[in-house]
Structure 1
Amino acid sequence: MSAADENLDVSEGLASIGEAARRSGVPKDTLRIWERRYGFPAPLRDAAGDRAYPSDQVEKLRLIRILIDQGRRPSKLVTRSLAALQAEFQVGAAERSAPEAWVIEALDLLRAHDVEGLRARLVATLHERGLRPFVIDNVAALSAAVGEAWIAGELAVFEEHLFTELIARVLRGALAGVGRGGDARPRILLTTLPGEPHALGLLMAECLMTLSGGACFSLGVETPPHDVAQASAAHRIDVVALSFSAMYGPAAARRDLKTLRDVLPPEVEIWAGGACPGLRGQPIAGVRTVPDLEAIEALVAGWRR
């Protein structure tokens, strides 16, 4: 992609593919795939021939992303109008229960750009409740509320990014205080595969796996399968744990998991979790799917048995 593609003047209501991806939360590769497969988005072209996305398309992409996170399929959403998607989102928001007071307070601090106040509130709740319930209840609920506020236009992109970084900082700080023996088992490698840039779910899983007595090694995001296999051998890994968001294509998830299974020794287990629909339904040979965060403790205990 050329520099013009990244630096397109957005004052005219157009966004480069990089800006469209940042504002919508839909990865650039996915934007290109949807364009070929569904005919949407339908970007314009600038003088250099690079993609330029009108603001209404970016807004529609934002709505599609949050509806996919709630279990809808992109093929059913891209053909609908922006107004229809907005109406569907509003109906879904009305049907969901009202957020708890703690979530409302945290959102207010985020909107007020009170970073230190929000950090202090998160840390206080972590200390009050403990790491496991904080991850399963508080972080999960607040992440969902931030996503909904963002898609409703109540939070800017930078505010969502700020929230994610702040939560990650708090969780990493809590992990540093968890005692782990040098001979802890299972030895778990955590990462995502190329095309999955979302890291927060992976960090939440790492917290719960560590609390359950596992020894965790994180490679961050978007690690190619052969690199995963090399790292697994180097660190004598027992389990490779992967996260797949709802934006990861179902067919791609199943294909990529099979590729990883082929390059890992049979004694190394693969655990895959997240909202990707490809993890549901027909089992994937040699892969154990994780239905939710609460299942992690039992998985670790089951490995030991």
Structure 2
Amino acid sequence: MTNTSPPPLAPHTIADVERDTGLGKDTLRVWERRYGFPQPQRDSLGERRYTDDDLTRLRHIRRLIDAGHRPGQIVPLSLERLLALSAGTTPSAAGRMQSVGDGPADTSEVHPWLDLLRRQDAAGLRQALVRMINEKGLARSLIEGVAPMNVLVGQSWLEGRLAVHEEHLYTEVVQGTLRHAMVALQPPARPPRVLLTTLPGEQHALGLLMAECFMVLEGCHTIPLGVQTPIPDLVKAVAAAQADVVALSFTAAQNPREVRAALDQLRELLPPGVEVWAGGACPALYKPVRSRTMAPGRGRAFWPLGRLQDIPLAVSRWRAEAGQPA
């Protein structure tokens, strides 16, 4: 009688996959039921476990979604077909971690930053970013430095040349440096009062912070709430802060119908005078707005902001319509 050992348990939990890819646990479960992928193993407690191949395939799926593909078109595809699609896909400057971005950018200037990151040289990376801010100013540094670096980090992560902990180190260094720069450069705050957050299921904060930098440079009074604020809590926060604008970010991994439904719900619950600004890589934000997304007597359901450079224009428009000095 031959004793056969059970196959080794897959190494990644669903929480590991969520942290690595940015794909939410609910999204993974829905894809499992709807598209038949992923099909994780189960441990002795019934918890899902994912293989290295599952993780690689999900990384490529995430990249293609960020480039505008629909989940239903790509989630069922084999890794070979995903690689073929990826070969013809140019990553956007929004990147995996950035929710508000610009067009494709030249990454040559920030390639040395990647070497610093691989050496775990957080101080060197911070100094390089501070040097650029001092030389170019905060706005140009975001567009010419941070945005292309996001592309480079995301591509390196996808190709397995950058570990997850290195990506996390990059995010922490950039967030800390940008927050310090905002404090150092912040002009006297005046309207609009802008409350910034993401809705549940959207955990990426770097793009939101980059947008806040642009708003601070425009003299806005910003109120950051972090990420994943439930809509009822968000509505209460708007009232407590007497906010004029709610700024939200959505990555391309978010379900377009759910994004539009959430914006509709938020618009219905907010006072008529509070605007909603929505930015990020989710294609649903930039499609023509159907009449059902317009709340009667409330004007636009939301203002889409596709690029960081759109923020100064949005602030100028708001001030002109509110009778505030430019």
Normalising by structure 1, what TM-score?
Answer: 0.91
What is the CA distance between 1:98 and its match in structure 2?
Answer: 8.9
Aligned to 2:3: none
Which of the two has greater helix per residue? 1
Q: Larger RCO: Structure 1 or Structure 2 (Cα < 8 Å, ≥ 6 residues apart)?
A: 2
Task: Work out which of the residue numbers 26, 38, 41 in structure 2 matches 1:29.
Answer: 26
In the TM superposition, what are the counterparts of 1:117-128 in structure 2 within 5 Å? 117-128=124-135
1:231 paired with 2:237, answer yes
Aligned to 2:198: 192
For residue 213 of structure 2, what is the amino acid of its counterpart?
C
Aligned to 1:5: none
- Deviation per residue, 1:217-256 (Å, 9 max, x gap): 0000000111111111111110000000111110110011
Q: Please, which runs of 5 or more residues in structure 1 have no aligned partner?
A: 1-10
Deviates more, 1:19-28 or 1:126-135: 19-28
What is the CA distance between 1:48 and its match in structure 2?
Answer: 1.5
8 Å CA contact retained: 2:200, 2:229: yes
Aligned to 2:59: 62
SS of 2:29's equivalent?
A: helix
For residue 187 of structure 2, what is the amino acid of its counterpart?
R
Aligned to 1:160: 167
8 Å CA contact retained: 2:202, 2:227: yes
- Deviation per residue, 1:91-150 (Å, 9 max, x gap): 4369x9894432211111111221111111111011111001111221111101110110
Aligned to 1:209: 215
- Deviation per residue, 1:54-110 (Å, 9 max, x gap): 22111100111111111121111112111221233234369x989443221111111
Q: How many residues align?
A: 293
Aligned to 1:3: none
Task: Work out which of the residue numbers 284, 301, 304 in structure 1 matches 2:316.
Answer: 301
In the TM superposition, what are the counterparts of 1:36-47 in structure 2 within 5 Å? 36-47=33-44
Task: Work out which of the residue numbers 69, 83, 86 in structure 2 matches 1:86.
Answer: 83
What is the CA distance between 1:165 and its match in structure 2?
Answer: 1.0
The sequence identity of aligned pairs, in percent, is 46
SS of 1:186's equivalent?
A: strand
8 Å CA contact retained: 2:107, 2:152: no
What is the CA distance between 1:25 and its match in structure 2?
Answer: 2.6
- Deviation per residue, 1:265-292 (Å, 9 max, x gap): 0100000000012212122422111121
> d(CA) in 2 for partners of 1:136 and 1:147?
16
SS of 1:141's equivalent?
A: helix
> d(CA) in 1 for partners of 2:202 and 2:303?
19
Aligned to 2:249: 243
8 Å CA contact retained: 1:25, 1:62: no
Aligned to 2:4: none
